[in-house]
Amino acid sequence: MSTSSNNEPEQKNVTDPSLKSKKSSFKDIISVLLILTLLVTWGYIIWDRNNTRELVSQKDNVITTTTAQKDQLQKELEDATLRYEVIKSDNFKKDSTITARDKEIENKKSRIKVLLSKIDATKAEINEAQQLINSLNLDIEGYKAQIASLESQKNELVNTNVKISKDRDRIQKNYDSSLEQIKNKDNTIDIASTLHASNFNIIGMSEKNSGKTVATSKAKKVDLLRISFDLDENMITSSGAKIFYIIITDPSGKIITTNQLNSGKFQTREGEIKDFTQKMEVNYIQNKKQTVSFDWKSMESYQTGNYKIEVYNNGFKVGEGVRSLKKSGIFG
């Protein structure tokens, strides 16, 4: 006899088709989602990579552009500096305005160098550098123009000075010539004003106990020489005191000088220094002939022989006379 278990039909592991269908649909959805997610992820990665590449490219372009701008600006700065130094090398005297502009230019150059030396210079800083270089070029042109103006003024002054120097030299030459003419004229007048002495009369005089004097030619009896001469008319010579130097030379040829007559020395027009015996002052009247007379008394005995009397006026010898004294006879 069979047991109940043997009588019951055998149970089979059978899945519900609807359930199976649901599970399959769910897997498909998951798969699709995973694929979509993967596609989105890869798409994002590709987009991000492209975007990054574009950013890097843009950044490289910016860097390249900035570097090129900086190089260009650096070249412009060097060119401007070279022109500036060439202008400055000119040797001229600077005025205060030029010195002030020098300082402004140097300040701008320093600022430009600071901006261009920055590795990560911004566009604004590059623009500032560009503006400063433009301004610097204008300053240098203005500097050049101002220097040209100063040079022009200097050349005008030089030309004016040359003209003034030539005029001065011409005037000086004319002045010197005039002075020479005046000097020659004055010298001519001075020479022409020299008085001339004529009609010399020299007489030996003997003094008597009564005080009277008589003429004598005996040397032993002569107590003094009475000398006279005429001053001729002269229209050039003005009236007034005129100085005459009297030179008396004894028979031995010696010029007689004495302290009593204040004898001394004078210089002739030829530059010769001569001794004089006596100095006389005569009050001359213009263009009038007048006679000069004076007595000369020797401090020593008179000698036999010739006594020469020379008269000098205005440095010239204007006349002379000679008196010969004789020996006394047997009876004196």
Which one of 134, 163, 192 terminates a domain? 192
Instruction: pLDDT band for 65, please (50, 70, 90 cuts).
Output: low
Mean pLDDT of 261-271: 94
Q: Are 205 and 215 in contact (CB under 8 A)?
A: yes
Query: For the chain, what is the domain count?
Result: 2
- In the predicted structure, residue 12 carries a pLDDT above the cut 90: no
User: Based on the domain organization, do 140 and 264 belong to the same domain?
Assistant: no
Confidence category of residue 57, pLDDT binned at 50, 70, 90: low
Q: Are residues 210 and 181 in the same domain?
A: no
Among residues 143, 75, 71, 74, the alpha carbon closest in space to that of 106 is found at 143
Which of residues 165, 192, 219 is at a domain's end?
Answer: 192
Same domain as 161, residue 209: no
| Closest by CA position to 67, among listed 118, 107, 141 | 118
Task: Give the domain extent around 213.
Answer: 197-325
In a domain, 6, yes or no: no
- 92-98, long-range: CB < 8 A, 24+ apart: 92/147, 92/150, 92/151, 92/154, 95/150, 97/146, 98/143, 98/146, 98/147, 98/150
Higher pLDDT among residues 293 and 135, named by residue? 293
- pTM of the complete model: 0.50
Q: Is the pLDDT of residue 70 over 50?
A: yes
Banded pLDDT at 49 (limits 50, 70, 90): confident
pLDDT tens-place string over residues 137-166: 887 787 778 777 777 887 888 898 888 988
Whether residue 92 is predicted with pLDDT greater than 70 in this model: the reply is no
At 281-332, the pLDDT tens digits run 999 999 999 999 999 998 889 999 999 999 999 999 999 999 999 987 655 5
Q: Tell me the pLDDT tens digit for each residue of 210-261.
A: 889 999 999 999 999 999 999 999 999 999 999 999 999 999 999 999 988 8
Split at pLDDT 50, 70, 90, the class of 170 is confident
pLDDT value at 2 more than 50 = no
Is residue 50, in this structure, part of any structural domain at all? yes
Examine the domain organization and report whether 149 and 31 are in the same domain: yes
State which of 145, 175, 192 marks the end of a domain. 192
Question: How many angstroms separate the CA atoms of 126 and 253, rounded?
Answer: 111
CATH value at residue 273:
2.60.40.10
Indicate if 203 and 236 belong to the same structural domain: yes
Kindly report, residue by residue over 21-30, the tens digit of the pLDDT: 666 777 778 8
At residue 103's C-alpha, the angle toward residues 97 and 107, to 5°, is 145
Same domain, 240 and 112: no
Same domain, 105 and 201: no
Tell whether 128 is covered by a domain: yes
